[in-house]
C-alpha cells in the first residue's frame, strides 16, 4: 500500500507541471459518456440525487477534465489515474445496480496507469476486451463489486501491472476498535465479486505484480505453479475461497513476500518449511483450513512477523517445546490448536500484542497477572478450562476493547473497577461461575456494545444505570439469579434484551417502550405477574417476544397484532385467559417469508454463541441461535387457559413454521384454514376440547413433520395423502372421541376395501400399516441439515423420524 501512495504522490507532483491547457477532447468525451452511461444503466432511479455521486465537477462548464474531481493527469495533460471508488451509493436504501457495460467509455482512456472502480456494485462479467486497451495499467482495483465469471486473460497480459485487487468484501477477521462504530452495521450490505473457477496459469505473466488480492470469491483448485514466477510479489491474499491442495513448497522462493493470507480455504498438508526463508514476512494467515502436522517453532524466528493466525486447522501445538520468540507480534491467533497447561508465558515477551485469541484449547490455571498488565486490545480465551478470579489489574487497561472469556470456570465477583476499562466494546463472560452483583461502574463503559453475562450465578436486584444514549445494543443476563423488577436501565440503542431464566418478579415495566430499537425481548422463565400489557405493541421494532413460563394473566390484547415484524411470539406456560384474538391473523411478520437481516450475523468472526433463544420446537426444547432467527416464524400460546374457538384468521400466517396452541381450553372445530399454513412444520393442537373431524385441508401442509391432536374430542377419519400419511404416531391421536384411519390402524366404519395398486403415482398413494412414510419435505431436511452443520440448532434429543422406511406398493 505504501508503494501505491508513493506512486500517487509522484503522479500528483507531475500533474503540477503546466503544459497544454486542456485534457484531450476524446478523453473529455469518454469521461462524460461514462458518467451518463453509469447512471443510465442504473436500474433504480429513485436515488438520482447526484450529490451522492460526487461527480458534479464532471460537467461541460469546465472542459479541462484534468481539473475534475477524481481525475489525475500527467504533465502532458493526459488522464493517467481515475479514482472512481464508491461513486454509486451502496448504502442508500435502494442500491443502484450498474452493469459492467457502464465501464465501456473508460476503455478509450488508454493512457491510464491507475483505475480504481472499487465499491460500486457493478454487475456482470469483466469486459476483457476493454482491458486490452489499457495496456499501461499499473494499478487496478475492482474490489467490492458484483462481478462474476473468470478473470479475463486480457488482464493477465497487462505487463506493467503491479497491483491487482479483485476481492469482494466483508467485515474481516478481527474485530478491533478500528472497525469503528458498529452501530451502523445493519445498514451495510456488502457485495461480493463472484469469480468462479481456477486461477489461470497465465497469472505468471504478470511479472511486475507486487500485490494481488482475490479475497472472498469462489475460486477453487490449487494455487497455480506459475505464481512462483511472480518474484516481485509482496502481498498474496486468497482468503475465503475454496482453494485446496497443499501450500506450494516453493513459496519460500518469493523472497519479497510480506503478507501471505491463505485463510478460509481447504488447504491441506503441513506448513511448508520454506516459509522460514521469507525474512520480510509480516503477516501469515493460515487459519480456517485443513492444515495438519505440528506447528513449527521456527515461525517465531521470523523477525519481521507481526500477524500470525493459525487457528481452526488440524494443527497440533507441541506443549513441550520452549518458545523463545525473535518476532514481536501484534496479533496472534492459536484458536483450537491443542494448547494445554497454563497460558504460555512466552507471550509476555510480545510487548506490542494487540490481539490474542487462544480460544477452544485446553488451557487451565488462572488468568495470568502478566497478561492483565499487558495492554492488549482483544483477549479471547473462550472455551478453555481457566479458573479463579479476574485480576482487577486487567481493568486498568485503557486498550482493552474485546474481552471474551465465555465457557471457562472463572469464579468470584467481577472487580469493582471494571468500569475503568472504558474502551471495552465486547464483554462476554457467559458460562462461568461468576457470582455477586454486576458492579455499578460497568455503566461507565460508554462504548460497550455487547454485554453477555448469561449462564453464571450473578445475583442482586440493582442494576447499573446506563446512559440512554449509550451504545449498548446487546444485553444477555439470562440464566442467572437476578431478582427484583425487570431492569430497564439500559440504553435506548438496545436491540436485544435477554433476561430469561432468572427470578425477576413484578409487572412488565412501561419503560420498556423507551427502547425504541428493541428487536428481541426474551424474559422467559421468570415470575412476571400482571396482565400482558398493551403497551408492548408500541415497540414496533420487536421481532422476537418470549414471555414463556411466567405468571401472566388476563387476555391477549388485540393490539399485539400491531407488531408488524414480529416473527416469534412465545406466550406459553402462563395463565392467559379469554379468546385468541382474531387480529392475530394480521401479524405480518408471520405472514411473509422471513427475510430480515440478522444484526448479529457476520459481526463477530471469532466464534460466538450469543443468546440462543430457547423455544419448544417439535416437542423438544431447542436453542435457536440469534443469528438464525430470521429463518423462523413461531407462534406458541400453549399451556394457558385460552378458550373459545381457534380463529379462522390464523390460517393467514403463511410464514409460520410452528403453531402450538396445545394445553388450553379451546373448543369448536379445527378451522379448515389451517391447511393454508404452507410453511408449517409442526402443529400442536393437543389437550383442548376441539371437536368435529380433522380437516382434509391439512393434507396441503407439505412441510409438516409433527402433528399432535391428542386429548381432544375429535371424531372421524384422519385425512390421508402426502405428509398426512407420515403422521402415524398413535400417541398424537390418543384420547379423542373416535378417530379412525390407517395412521392409527383403526378402520373407519365406512371404509372401502383398499383400492387396486396403481402403476401411476397418484397423490393419494396407499401405504402399508406399519408406519410407512414418503416424501419427507425437502425443505425441512435442508434447513435442519444446514442448521446442524452450522451449529445453529442444537438438537437436544436425537431425531427419531429417521427410522421410518420408505415403502410403496
Residue 239 Cβ, how far from ligand NAG at the closest point, in Å?
8
* Start-end of H helices in 300-374: 369-373
Q: Which of 714, 715, 659 is nearest to 682 (CA)?
A: 659
Q: Which of 111, 120, 61 is nearest to 88 (CA)?
A: 120
C-alpha cell at 568: 416469534
Q: Of 398 and 782, which has the nearer Cβ to ligand NAG? A: 782
Residue 717 Cβ, how far from ligand NAG at the closest point, in Å?
25
What phi, psi does 306 have (nearest 5°)? Answer: -115, -40
Q: Which of 641, 616, 748, 642 is nearest to 694 (CA)?
A: 748
Sign of the Cα pseudo-torsion (292, 297, 302, 308, in order) = positive
Residue 341 Cβ, how far from ligand NAG at the closest point, in Å?
15
Q: Of 92 and 411, which has the nearer Cβ to ligand NAG? A: 411
Place of cell 402399508: 768
Q: Of 636 and 703, which has the nearer Cβ to ligand NAG? A: 636
Return the residue nearest ligand NAG (CB atom): 559
Q: Of 352 and 462, which has the nearer Cβ to ligand NAG? A: 462
Q: Which of 87, 83, 81, 89 is nearest to 27 (CA)?
A: 81
Residue 491 Cβ, how far from ligand NAG at the closest point, in Å?
11
Place of cell 391428542: 710
Residue 639 Cβ, how far from ligand NAG at the closest point, in Å?
10
Tell me how many degrees the CA angle 543-547-550 measures, rounded to the nearest 5.
Answer: 175
* Exposure class string for 481-515: b at 16+ Cβ within 10 A, else e: ebeeebbbebbebbbbbbbbbbebbeebeeebbbb
Residue 351 Cβ, how far from ligand NAG at the closest point, in Å?
28
Q: Of 217 and 706, which has the nearer Cβ to ligand NAG? A: 217
In DSSP notation, 83-152 reads E-TT-S-TTSSS---EEGGGGGGGGG-TT-SEEE--SS-EEEE--HHHHHH-TT-SEEE--SSEEEE---
What phi, psi does 164 have (nearest 5°)? Answer: -135, 115
Residue 207 Cβ, how far from ligand NAG at the closest point, in Å?
11
Burial of residue 570, with CB atoms counted within 10 A of its CB: 0-12 exposed, 13-18 middle, 19 or more buried: buried
Q: Of 58 and 617, which has the nearer Cβ to ligand NAG? A: 58
- How many angstroms separate the CA atoms of 84 and 72, rounded? 11
Q: Of 130 and 585, which has the nearer Cβ to ligand NAG? A: 130
Residue 188 Cβ, how far from ligand NAG at the closest point, in Å?
12
C-alpha cell at 265: 480455504
Q: Of 399 and 643, which has the nearer Cβ to ligand NAG? A: 643
Residue 597 Cβ, how far from ligand NAG at the closest point, in Å?
13
Residues that bind ligand NAG (CB under 6 A): 33, 36-37, 40, 44-46, 56-57, 59, 61-62, 104, 107-108, 129-130, 133, 170, 192, 216, 218, 231-232, 240, 252, 255-256, 273-274, 276-277, 387, 409, 411, 433, 488-489, 511, 534, 537, 551, 559, 562, 575, 605, 758-760
Residue 657 Cβ, how far from ligand NAG at the closest point, in Å?
24
In DSSP notation, 451-506 reads EE--SSEEEES------TT----EEE--SSEEEEEPP--S-TT--EEE--SSEEEE
Q: Of 388 and 692, which has the nearer Cβ to ligand NAG? A: 388
Q: Of 551 and 593, which has the nearer Cβ to ligand NAG? A: 551
Amino acid at each position: 500500500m505504501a508503494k501505491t501512495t508513493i506512486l500517487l504522490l509522484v503522479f500528483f507532483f507531475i500533474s503540477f507541471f503546466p503544459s497544454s491547457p486542456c485534457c484531450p477532447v476524446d478523453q473529455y468525451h469518454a469521461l462524460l459518456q461514462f458518467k451518463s452511461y453509469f447512471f443510465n444503466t442504473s436500474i433504480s432511479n429513485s436515488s438520482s440525487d447526484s450529490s451522492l455521486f460526487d461527480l458534479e465537477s464532471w460537467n461541460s462548464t469546465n472542459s479541462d477534465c484534468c481539473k475534475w474531481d477524481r481525475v489525475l493527469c500527467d504533465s502532458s495533460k493526459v488522464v493517467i489515474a481515475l479514482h472512481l471508488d464508491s461513486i454509486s451509493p451502496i448504502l442508500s436504501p435502494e442500491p443502484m445496480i450498474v452493469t459492467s457495460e457502464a465501464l465501456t467509455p473508460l476503455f478509450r482512456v488508454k493512457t491510464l496507469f491507475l483505475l480504481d472502480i472499487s465499491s460500486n456494485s457493478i454487475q456482470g462479467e469483466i469486459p476483457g476486451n476493454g482491458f486490452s486497451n489499457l495496456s499501461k495499467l499499473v494499478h487496478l482495483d475492482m474490489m467490492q463489486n458484483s462481478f462474476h465469471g473468470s478473470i479475463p486473460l486480457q488482464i493477465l497480459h497487462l505487463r506493467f501491472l503491479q497491483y491487482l485487487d479483485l476481492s469482494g468484501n466483508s467485515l474481516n477477521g478481527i474485530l478491533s476498535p478500528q472497525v469503528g462504530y458498529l452501530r451502523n452495521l445493519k445498514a451495510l450490505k456488502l457485495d461480493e465479486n463472484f469469480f468462479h473457477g481456477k486461477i489461470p496459469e497465465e497469472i505468471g505473466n504478470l511479472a511486475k505484480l507486487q500485490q494481488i488480492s482475490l479475497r472472498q470469491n469462489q475460486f477453487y483448485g490449487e494455487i497455480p505453479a506459475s505464481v512462483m514466477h511472480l518474484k516481485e510479489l509482496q502481498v498474496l491474499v486468497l482468503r475465503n475461497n475454496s482453494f485446496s491442495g497443499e501450500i506450494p513448497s516453493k513459496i519460500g522462493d518469493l523472497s519479497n513476500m510480506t503478507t501471505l493470507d491463505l485463510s478460509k480455504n481447504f488447504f491441506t498438508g503441513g506448513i511448508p518449511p520454506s516459509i522460514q526463508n521469507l525474512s520480510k514476512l509480516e503477516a501469515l494467515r493460515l487459519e480456517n483450513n485443513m492444515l495438519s502436522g505440528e506447528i513449527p517453532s521456527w515461525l517465531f524466528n521470523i523477525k519481521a512477523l507481526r500477524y500470525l493466525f493459525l487457528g481452526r486447522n488440524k494443527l497440533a501445538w507441541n506443549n513441550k517445546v520452549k518458545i523463545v520468540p525473535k518476532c514481536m507480534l501484534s496479533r496472534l491467533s492459536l484458536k483450537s490448536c491443542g494448547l494445554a497447561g497454563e497460558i504460555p508465558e512466552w507471550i509476555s515477551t510480545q510487548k506490542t500484542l494487540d490481539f490474542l485469541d487462544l480460544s477452544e484449547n485446553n488451557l487451565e490455571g488462572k488468568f495470568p497477572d502478566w497478561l492483565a498488565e499487558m495492554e492488549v486490545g482483544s483477549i479471547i480465551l473462550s472455551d478453555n478450562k481457566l479458573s479463579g478470579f479476574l485480576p482487577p489489574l486487567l481493568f486498568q487497561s485503557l486498550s482493552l476493547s474485546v474481552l471474551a472469556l465465555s465457557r471457562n470456570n472463572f469464579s468470584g465477583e467481577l472487580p469493582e473497577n471494571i468500569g475503568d476499562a472504558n474502551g471495552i466494546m465486547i464483554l462476554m463472560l457467559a458460562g462461568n461461575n461468576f457470582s455477586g452483583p454486576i458492579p455499578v461502574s460497568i455503566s461507565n463503559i460508554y462504548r460497550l456494545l455487547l454485554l453477555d453475562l448469561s449462564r453464571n450465578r450473578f445475583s442482586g436486584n440493582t442494576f447499573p444505570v446506563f446512559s440512554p444514549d449509550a451504545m449498548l445494543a446487546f444485553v444477555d443476563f439470562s440464566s442467572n439469579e437476578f431478582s427484583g423488577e425487570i431492569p430497564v436501565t439500559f440504553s435506548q440503542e438496545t436491540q436485544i434484551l435477554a433476561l430469561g431464566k432468572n427470578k425477576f418478579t413484578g409487572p412488565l415495566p412501561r419503560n420498556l417502550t423507551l427502547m425504541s430499537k428493541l428487536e428481541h425481548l426474551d424474559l422467559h422463565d421468570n415470575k412476571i405477574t400482571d396482565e400482558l400489557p398493551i403497551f408492548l405493541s408500541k415497540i414496533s421494532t420487536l421481532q422476537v417476544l418470549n414471555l414463556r413460563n411466567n405468571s401472566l394473566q388476563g387476555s391477549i390484547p388485540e393490539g399485539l397484532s400491531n407488531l408488524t415484524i414480529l416473527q416469534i411470539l412465545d406466550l406459553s406456560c402462563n395463565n392467559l385467559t379469554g379468546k385468541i384474538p382474531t387480529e392475530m391473523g394480521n401479524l405480518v411478520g408471520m405472514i411473509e417469508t422471513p427475510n430480515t437481516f440478522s444484526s448479529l450475523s457476520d459481526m463477530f468472526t471469532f466464534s460466538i454463541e450469543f443468546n440462543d433463544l430457547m423455544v419448544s420446537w417439535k416437542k423438544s426444547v431447542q436453542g435457536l441461535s440469534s443469528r438464525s432467527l430470521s429463518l423462523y416464524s413461531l407462534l406458541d400460546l400453549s399451556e394457558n387457559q385460552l378458550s373459545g374457538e381457534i380463529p379462522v384468521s390464523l390460517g393467514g400466517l403463511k410464514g409460520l413454521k410452528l403453531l402450538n396452541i396445545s394445553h388450553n381450553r379451546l373448543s369448536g372445530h379445527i378451522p379448515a384454514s389451517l391447511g393454508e399454513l404452507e410453511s408449517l412444520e409442526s402443529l400442536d393442537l393437543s389437550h383442548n376440547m376441539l371437536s368435529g373431524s380433522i380437516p382434509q385441508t391439512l393434507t396441503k401442509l407439505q412441510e409438516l413433520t409433527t402433528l399432535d391432536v391428542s386429548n381432544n374430542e375429535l371424531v372421524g377419519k384422519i385425512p390421508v395423502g402426502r405428509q398426512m400419511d407420515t403422521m402415524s404416531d398413535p400417541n398424537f391421536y390418543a384420547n379423542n372421541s373416535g378417530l379412525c384411519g390407517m395412521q392409527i390402524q383403526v378402520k373407519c366404519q365406512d371404509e372401502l376395501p383398499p383400492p387396486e395398486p396403481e402403476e401411476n403415482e397418484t397423490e393419494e398413494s396407499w401405504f402399508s400399516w406399519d408406519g410407512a412414510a414418503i416424501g419427507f419435505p425437502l425443505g425441512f431436511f435442508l434447513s435442519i441439515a444446514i442448521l446442524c452443520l452450522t451449529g445453529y440448532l442444537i438438537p437436544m434429543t436425537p431425531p427419531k423420524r429417521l427410522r421410518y422406511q420408505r415403502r410403496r406398493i
